[in-house]
Amino acid sequence: MRDAAPQTIYLADYTPYGFIIDDVALHFDLDPRKTRVKSRISFRPTPDASDKTFFLHGENLSLVSAMIDGTPVSPEVTPQGLTCDVPDAPFVWEAEVEIDPMGNTALEGLYMSNGMYCTQCEAEGFRKITYYPDRPDVMAVFTVTINGPHPVLLSNGNPVSSGNDTAEWRDPWPKPAYLFALVAGDLVAHPGSFTTKSGRKVDLNLYVRPGDEGKCAFGMQALKDSMKWDEDVYGREYDLDLFNIVAVDDFNMGAMENKGLNIFNSSAVLASPETSTDMNFERIEAIIAHEYFHNWTGNRITCRDWFQLCLKEGLTVYRDSQFTSDMRSAAVKRIGDVIDLRARQFPEDQGPLAHPVRPESFQEINNFYTATVYEKGAEVIGMLKLLVGDAAYSKALDLYFDRHDGQACTIEDWLQVFEDTTGRDLGQFKRWYSQAGTPQLSVTESWDHGTLTLHFKQHTPASAATADPQPYVLPIAVGLIGQDGDEVHETTVLEMTQAEQSFVFDDLGTRPVASVLRGFSAPVVLTQDLSDADRAHLLAHDTDPFNRWEQGRMLAYGSLLAMIREGKAPNKDWLAGIRAVIGDETLDPAYRALMLGLPSQSDLARALSEAGDTPDPDIIYAATEATRAAMADAFADLLPTLYRRHTVDAPFEPNAKQAGKRALSNAALSLLTRNDDGVLAQEQYDAADNMTQQLSALANLVRAGRGNKAVEAFEAQWKADRLVMDKWFGLQVMEADPEDAHEVVETLTKHPDFNWKNPNRFRAVLGAFAAHHAGFHHASGAGYRLLADWLIQLDPVNPQTTARMCSAFQTWKRYDADRQDMIKAELDRILSQPGLSRDTTEMLTRIRG
Ligand code: ARG
Ligand code: ZN
């Protein structure tokens, strides 16, 4: 049943729940179409609660019976839940409901995936399992019994008993319902174990479908590394005797941190050299760490309400990025994170979906699992750490864990521990949580007899979410590079608090070049009046690896924008600067591979529209292609050496060192392919013994228009592997010529293996298409129509995945009037569908503006 008129929920309306739960017992009799769930919940009134209404959430449940203290009652049931008269004293609520896991295609609550039962309860899925106060500030201990004819029956916590087709679990840690999980099916365990720093042995298992056993070892190792890292760096020890991870094929997001029973999208945990790329390995390691780290930042300390989502997500993303930096290369990780932030968060923050890191209202909370809450939320923590320093950060975190263990907290609680440990007033800093929009920071210089003054101005454009943004506290990391290339002033963090502010560096001999916003010390758009020569100087000499890369990128932007606007040839100084860096064998190959990247076409569209121009996707595409061709020519003599020298001959290992070499040799291959008709790519394809090499070769062959044979061979080889076939589908879309990308998509959607109800497969094709800038924005409007058709088809089946993909349209106001009209027509067509989900309705209404 759907809501007639979606309700808007406001942070300001928060009130505590009127009851405390001492104990929850759940009993499941599993059946694909008629699962019975019995609940027995001990309630007592919260002393002095202002709201004494007894309300339990419940959706898509058929209530079989309800009792209070053993006496049958007849609650008042609505599509959202029930209310009931209850005693003004402790009482026991018992209910039995029937649910339909097989019919649950939304993949929220208890559902079935390839014959196994699994759950996804965050944010508000538990209410589809039984009647309950489904809000994160209600925490309780759960005992769960599961009956069903399945070899594996799992829930949270520790096993109490198990018998034939039955198992009992008890989780001793009070938790909100969104952390509940249940899994049942014919699964195999890949076991492991970890001994905590206090000497407790924890059993670890990675549960997978039979056939996937060979893809578990890497994930298991990543889990152990994460457990060790959290002890070493944050002093956090695991707190149960068992930690289980389950891989599931049908999953809306990446993974979920259910207490002691993490559930993962199989794409975010299963890995083997033959089937996974280096990028897959790195992502899997990070997601396993992320979910594991939630055990403390999320589970032991959770969120009071869903407006506080960044409290756990921003912090946990920040922690997993620290972990990846420690495991791999910090510079490469930072650059990758900034590329991602600019690609996903900036468009959100600068368009109709802009919202603060802590939003103040929502209709459907699933629509707020965003790059702003997650990635900008993590940036805010990075800034806080930079401002207070590493030692104070550690002290504040220790206090946070001490003070709030077992609680459901707010951003105010989080900031308070920093105020208490440092004595700082974070009132202004808090704007990072309450205001939307990307700050625009500009810097100009003046030079006077050995004194350099940097004049900064910050300005944040108004948005629907924040009408009048006030100045932020900005940590601006600055260093100075002398004319001879030496650093004359090491990194110092300037603290900007005003709309305009100047900082002085004196006692300088000759005028240096200012390296500003090192390490991308604040998530802003920086405008710096540097000449191309100064940028090239920093590209050659900056000691900050981020800024060195950034100057190369800025030169690339300059070159591409001049080509787009004025038809200019590529900037020779930029090419020469990049050439010097990629040929420098003292530098990390992974870092050099990043230097060979270009801004994406949608980043270029964003840059043009930030400057007040209307981006033309065809011209952007052509300029990018011409620039790649110019790179291939300018580096022609260097590329074969780079390719050979960094091709890995040793047996495949998914470590950063080998991955970096492969990244560089494959970056070289993609340029070489432009001049050799795919000969080398075909050679690499034929010789490949791992997916990184195979997929890269395939992409190059398809791009060169020589891929037909390899595409067929690849399909024949990998037909039976769902995750590899996702790559096969996705690659053909990503590498399609813009002119016929929509036709490629239409053909692929008719492929017998295009199971559109599987979120991974849907995203592999339609998600890749939405990200194909020139193909999606085809002047005919065919791309818009095609995506809209599929969103209309998916919405009744899976609102969450549909709604997420609506963000493909969020940048629509950048484009010309014809494209805008066509997009608007598609938005209206989707919005006019009868019974459109709350998720999709909210997204499209906001996007349409
Ligand atoms: N807490 C999970 C994570 O980031 C995300 C789950 C979100 N699920 C959802 N349906 N909104 O690790
Ligand atoms: Zn998370």
For 167-191, write each residue's pLDDT tens digit: 999 999 999 999 999 999 999 999 9
Task: Please check whether residue 764 is in contact with residue 730, taking contact to mean a CB–CB distance below 8 angstroms.
Answer: yes
Q: Could you report the per-residue pLDDT of 70-98, keeping only the tens digit for each?
A: 999 999 999 999 999 999 999 999 999 99
466, 436 Cβ separation under 8 angstroms:
yes
401 residue type, one letter: F
CA dihedral 256, 261, 265, 269 (to 10 degrees): 110
Q: Which residues are in the CB-under-5-Å shell of ion ligand 2? A: 313, 316
pLDDT at 551 over 70: yes
Say what percent of the chain tops pLDDT 70.
99
Closest CA to 360 of 303, 436, 459: 436
For helices 545-566 and 617-634, angle between their N-to-C axes, nearest 10 degrees: 120
What would the mean pLDDT of 701-723 be, rounded to a whole number? 98
The minimum-distance atom of ligand 1 relative to the CA of 255 is 12
839 C-beta closer than 6 A to ligand 1: no
Residue 181 beta carbon below 6 angstroms from any ligand 1 atom: no
Q: Residue 4 has what pLDDT?
A: 53
Rounded to the nearest integer, the mean pLDDT of the chain is 98
Work out which ligand 1 atom sits closest to the CA atom of 291: 12
* pLDDT single digits (tens) 651-706: 999 999 999 999 999 999 999 999 999 999 999 999 999 999 999 999 999 999 99
Output the 3-class SS for 604-644.
Answer: HHHHHHHCCCCCCHHHHHHHHHHHHHHHHHHCCCCHHHHHH
* Pick from 43-52, 373-382, 698-707: least confident: 43-52
Task: State whether the beta carbon of 286 lies less than 6 angstroms from ligand 1.
Answer: no
Q: What ligand 1 atom has the least distance to the C-alpha of 287?
A: 12
To test the pocket of ligand 1, the residue of 111, 120, 121, 122 to mutate (highest count of ligand atoms within 8 Å of its CB) is 122
Distance between Cα 298 and ligand 2 center (Å): 8
Q: How confident is the model over 766-775, as a mean pLDDT? A: 98
Does 123 sit in the ligand 1 pocket, CB within 6 Å?
yes
* Number of Cβ atoms within 10 Å of the Cβ of 413: 17
95 within 8 A of 129, measured Cβ to Cβ: no
Phi and psi at 437, nearest 5°, equal 105, 150
- Would you state the structure tokens that stand for residue 602, as one six-digit string? 């949608």
Give the closest ligand to the alpha carbon of residue 378: 2
Nearest CA to ligand 1 atom 3: 256
CA dist 773 and 501 (Å) reads: 38
Question: Tokens in use for 724?
Answer: 């590899």
Residue 372 Cα to ligand 1 middle (Å): 14
94 ligand 1 Cβ < 6 A:
no
| Dihedral angle over CA of 603, 609, 613, 615, nearest 10 | 50
Is 379 one of the annotated active-site residues of the chain? no
Q: Calculate how far, in angstroms, residue 460's C-alpha sits from the geometric centre of ligand 1.
A: 29
Among residues 217, 124, 226, 119, the alpha carbon closest in space to that of 176 is found at 124
Distance CA 553, CA 578 (A): 10
Distances (CA, A) of 51 to 45, 48, 76, 78, 84: 10, 9, 18, 19, 14
Regarding the beta carbon of 253 and ligand 1, being less than 6 Å apart is answered: yes
- What distance in angstroms lies between residue 118's CA and the mean position of ligand 2's atoms? 19
**Measured distance CA(500)–CA(517) in Å, rounded:** 16
What distance in angstroms lies between residue 214's CA and the mean position of ligand 1's atoms?
27
Q: Is the CB of 366 under 6 A from ligand 1?
A: yes
Q: What distance in angstroms lies between residue 291's CA and the mean position of ligand 2's atoms?
A: 6
Residue 99: Cβ within 10 Å count: 23
Q: Which ligand is nearest to the CA of 312?
A: 2
> What pLDDT does 1 receive?
40
Catalytic residue among 291, 348, 364, 842: 291
pLDDT in tens, 560-578: 999 999 999 999 999 999 9
Residue 2, pLDDT above cutoff 70: no
Q: Which ligand is nearest to the CA of 178?
A: 1
